[in-house]
Amino acid sequence: MNLSGILIKTSGAFSIQELAAKDANVPQLDNGTKYIQCDTGGAFKVFYNGSTSVDAVIDYYNGYVWSRREDTLANLIVDNSWLSQSGDYTTFTLTAGEAIATLIIKSGSDPNLVRNPIGPVQMAVDYTTEQLSFKFKLPSTSTITINWGDGTTEDVVGQDDVIITKTSSYSSAGIYNFYVTRAVHDLTYIKVTQEFVSGDISRYAELSNLAFLNLSDSSFYGSVDSFAGLTGMTTFNISQTSISGDLSVLSSMPNIILRAYRCPLLTWDTDADFGVQDGAWQRVYANDFTAEMVDNCIKSFQNYTNSEIELWNTGKRTSASDVALLKLINAGTTVYFGETDSLGSLGSELYTLSNAISIGSEADSVAGWTGTGFGGGNVFQSQSSEKSDGSYAFEMDLTNNPTAGGNVTLDTPMTIENNEIYRVSMDFKQKLTTYTWGFFFENILKNYFHPAFTEWQQSVFYVKSSGVSAIIKFQEQNGLNSGGMYIDKFSVKKVTP
């Protein structure tokens, strides 16, 4: 962005220092009225009482004004200062005792310049009945101030690796502007997963110590394009949000665990190398990806081993990613596609039973499968009211099972060849959007059926065998109301690349 200019007026003990985009050694300017040309990348700092410490009281950079010095003076200035807007101008007034500095920022035609001067962690809470739950981690040497937006604040000292949960106490319905000041840049963990909470995540890129960020199921927005500098990030969950940007920039995070399903504004623009990971689990819902983006995503993860990569509802993949996909599978990684996908040539159908989930030999039966834990009103049956194709489908519902682990198992393990690639496909539909079931191949958990899918969805995934006999089962993964699920069109075929 280009700034037309900044008019700065100071009095008392404040002074101004201009910082060029690549040269921070510009001489300090005298007090008084100054006009500074400030293009993209330009910056300046406001100092108090002539301090030349790098921990400046206030920083300005590309439209942002915030406190960098975490002490009483800096917080006094920020807390007692204010922002006003008029036409193309934003005025930020700093106060500390009798000393006042007024920053008049001209935005020209760029509406993105007008920003709230508070730090990067800020959000709007649309409160009706459920209170905001803000979870975080902070070093024990640091303190943040939570501004709840209702006129109350709370100082919180960190507890290192302990997750701290703070809950609002709003008394009447309305929108509250929540934000965090003081040592906000020391936060290492943030979790806010409530739909009535919104905010722009673009400035979270300033949180250089952040390792865990979970904003799933919220109303956050903004771009991840500036997140490449967060190299210490290990968990990034933005599922079911309006967050945008190019996920391939996250390749700078060598140990990232990514959850980004049902985020229609995201892209995957390059085949960036996400490095080597063993035992990772990545989930990307990429319904709006182009075929090139899907290929880029697969190639980005091609050095993973013994991992699981789920590309939910991608819709497209081309032969351009065949080499990367084979490399992943041969390294023990299960790759899942929520769509029809083919790799190489397929062998004959290995699932030859005649029951409700068979293709070509369908029957109103569960023959060949046994359910465990289905007493007391739970259901495992063939039924005709819900099916993907044909006349029947399996229904598995363990709603009344008080513990996890109920399962439906193939009576006779499937005969397969060792060290070969197999394509497993089926259609599924969840009853509720709560909790999950898992699918086991060779008695190893290979896939979760995510509860977000309450309409029929095809799943296709590739596995590499490690034996000659495959125990196959579906298993409830939570000891709570799973809501149950339906299965149809089950298929297992050997792949010849």
Burial of 493 per CB tally in 10 Å (0-12, 13-18, 19+): middle
CA distance 255 to 233: 7
CA distance 291 to 321: 10
Predicted pLDDT at 58 = 44
Domains of the chain and any CATH numbers: 5-113 (no CATH), 122-337 (3.80.10), 345-496 (2.60.120.260)
CA distance 92 to 86: 12
Residue 132: DSSP 8-state: P
Whose tokens are 């709230």? That residue is 116
Exposed e or buried b per residue across 375-397, where buried means at least 16 C-beta atoms within 10 angstroms of its C-beta = eeebebbbeeeebbebebbbbbb
pLDDT higher than 80, residue 298 = yes
Burial of 9 per CB tally in 10 Å (0-12, 13-18, 19+): middle
How high is the mean pLDDT of the chain?
A: 77
pLDDT higher than 90, residue 68 = no
What integer is the mean pLDDT of 104-118? 40
Residue 305: DSSP 8-state: B
For residue 459, the cross-strand partners are 426
Predicted pLDDT at 157 = 96
Beta carbons within 10 angstroms of residue 276's beta carbon: 11
For residue 235, the cross-strand partners are 212, 257
The pLDDT > 70 percentage for the chain reads: 70
CA distance 30 to 9: 11
Per the rule left: phi > 0, alpha: psi between -120 and 50, beta: everything else, 63 is left
What integer is the mean pLDDT of 33-40? 35
Structure tokens at 221: 């927005």
Predicted pLDDT at 335 = 83
Whose tokens are 């975080």? That residue is 136
Return phi, psi of residue 348, to 5°.
-70, 160
pLDDT higher than 60, residue 310 = yes
Predicted pLDDT at 336 = 79
Predicted pLDDT at 436 = 75
Nearest to 258 by CA among 245, 239, 275: 239
Residue 241: DSSP 8-state: S
pLDDT higher than 70, residue 243 = yes
Provide the terminal-to-terminal Cα distance of the chain, rounded to the nearest Å.
49
Burial of 101 per CB tally in 10 Å (0-12, 13-18, 19+): buried
CA distance 465 to 470: 8
CA distance 417 to 118: 61
Alpha helices in 80-224 (DSSP H): none
**Cβ atoms of residues 224 and 251 within 8 Å:** no
**Cβ atoms of residues 363 and 488 within 8 Å:** no
The pLDDT > 90 percentage for the chain reads: 39
**Cβ atoms of residues 459 and 428 within 8 Å:** yes
pLDDT band (50, 70, 90) for residue 103:
low
Between residues 335 and 479, which one has the greater pLDDT? Answer: 335
Using DSSP bridges, classify how beta strands 143-147 and 174-182 pair: parallel, antiparallel or unpaired. Answer: antiparallel
pTM greater than 0.85 (yes/no): no
What integer is the mean pLDDT of 244-249? 92
Return phi, psi of residue 116, to 5°.
-65, 130
> Per-residue pLDDT tens for 161-199?
999 999 999 999 999 989 888 888 899 999 999 999 998
Beta carbons within 10 angstroms of residue 291's beta carbon: 14
